[in-house]
Structure 1
């Protein structure tokens, strides 16, 4: 693992300014870029630590606050250990913010994030990878579909609602994706049932995608997030191996 530098900064977008976090090897050299998408709890120390860990493997990692239109992070006061069952007001605050964040906004923002990475001297030329957690996984898929020539790898971990009845459901966009894809499903996740996983995998097969879709047994929605009640150390380490393998193959 190399020494890593991490910093917060402001990133301009067509709709305003996103507060963001950047982690990269401390050598001043360009490294492959990774766009890391947050879960609903947002940009916080635990997510910054994940970005630094990934950067330690030789990547320049950008983590934007995707809810910047609603304010800078933290948008809601978070305890050191997040257990939504004990703190229902957290999701009560976040839910309207999540619902106001449309796929069109997400795709427009992704273009700004990718432009920023492409212009940065800390990022190597060529396509980048993207990975997302919980709702961030759907953002990773949407980004790979909207910018197929710019995304070489996309990973989604404990991501719900990849298969919905809506016309713009993430699984309906898969025919536009050229990136290699990885899905790490939590088997204790009501937002991504066995039936929905089957539809996702069938769609991936139909469009000829390069993908791996794996079930993490005994894991709950949020298993990678060290500061939440859902954290599962064994599943989280498995996710790191899968993510590093994917990025190593593609970037």
Structure 2
């Protein structure tokens, strides 16, 4: 399926948010996937991931997750400087601001003639957390979360009791949680904390632990596992085809 790309600046409660849109280049309405990036924002690997999903018949929105903290169009490098800046941004932006970003993205998708009413979320690293967090929004029908960081540790700023793990019981959407067993950012104990919370709150979720390191989806990285990445894309496509009917 051939795709087309657009760039939009979406108004949010905390300022304009640059958002990259990928969609099938054909007539009709398509379900939407909000794709949350790593701390580096829309790098080339993130853009390629969005294109892959769009090529399977989805409208994909990639927001600049730290739009309040950077000039429009900022892309951080995969180096120590970029990592330090991205981590600083991660710890500076309250989760409540991500919530209002998600609301703006849902409203934007609903305003587009080529988007159906069905919306899901997906993300990698901090984006996996944001996809999980987005599922607190009742308009999100399914969330595919890859090696989501900071859920178990409650290290991101938010109001007391409003951290994502504590709010798990408020998620109505079906979830897919994917973690690498060799990921130092989410320990075995951290993974168990998330799993146990999902079980205790009787959420509808799928759980997968694979033999992989952090960022195994990122092509070009020395931790990239292409065969496993292909499996994840296929699972995500099948998941969204089922949940976003």
TM-score (norm 1): 0.90
Q: How far 1:238 moved relative to its partner?
A: 1.9
Q: Does 1:73 align with 2:66?
A: no
Q: How far 1:226 moved relative to its partner?
A: 1.1
Q: How far 1:248 moved relative to its partner?
A: 1.6
Alignment-derived partner of residue 205 in structure 2: 211
Of 220, 237, 240, the match for 2:233: 240
Of 92, 96, 118, the match for 2:84: 92
Deviations 1:199-218 (A, max 9, x none): 2111111111111111111x
Equivalents in 2 of 1:203, 1:116: separation in Å?
32
Equivalents in 1 of 2:65, 2:169: separation in Å?
25
State which drifts further: 114-123 or 229-238. 229-238
Structure 2 residue matching 1:130: 3-state secondary structure: strand
Deviations 1:1-59 (A, max 9, x none): x1111122222212211111101110132101111101111112221121111011111
Equivalents in 2 of 1:208, 1:32: separation in Å?
27
Deviations 1:126-151 (A, max 9, x none): x3110011001111111111x12x01
Alignment-derived partner of residue 158 in structure 2: none
Shift >3 Å, 4+ stretches: 165-169
Q: How far 1:75 moved relative to its partner?
A: 4.3
Alignment-derived partner of residue 163 in structure 2: 169
TM-score (norm 2): 0.92
Equivalents in 1 of 2:14, 2:163: separation in Å?
23
1:1-251 matched pairs, under 5 angstroms: 2-70=1-69, 71-76=71-76, 78=77, 82=78, 87-125=79-117, 127-145=118-136, 147-148=137-138, 150-165=139-154, 167-217=161-211, 219-251=212-244
Q: Which blocks of at least 5 consecutive residues in structure 2 are unaligned?
A: 156-160
Q: How far 1:119 moved relative to its partner?
A: 0.8
When residues 39 and 165 of structure 1 are mapped into structure 2, their CA distance, relative to the original with a 3 A threshold, is closer
Q: Which blocks of at least 5 consecutive residues in structure 1 are unaligned?
A: none
Q: How far 1:230 moved relative to its partner?
A: 2.4
Q: How many residues align?
A: 238
Structure 1 residue matching 2:26: 3-state secondary structure: coil
Equivalents in 2 of 1:187, 1:129: separation in Å?
26
When the two chains are superposed, the root-mean-square deviation of aligned CA atoms in Å is 1.5
Q: How far 1:95 moved relative to its partner?
A: 2.1
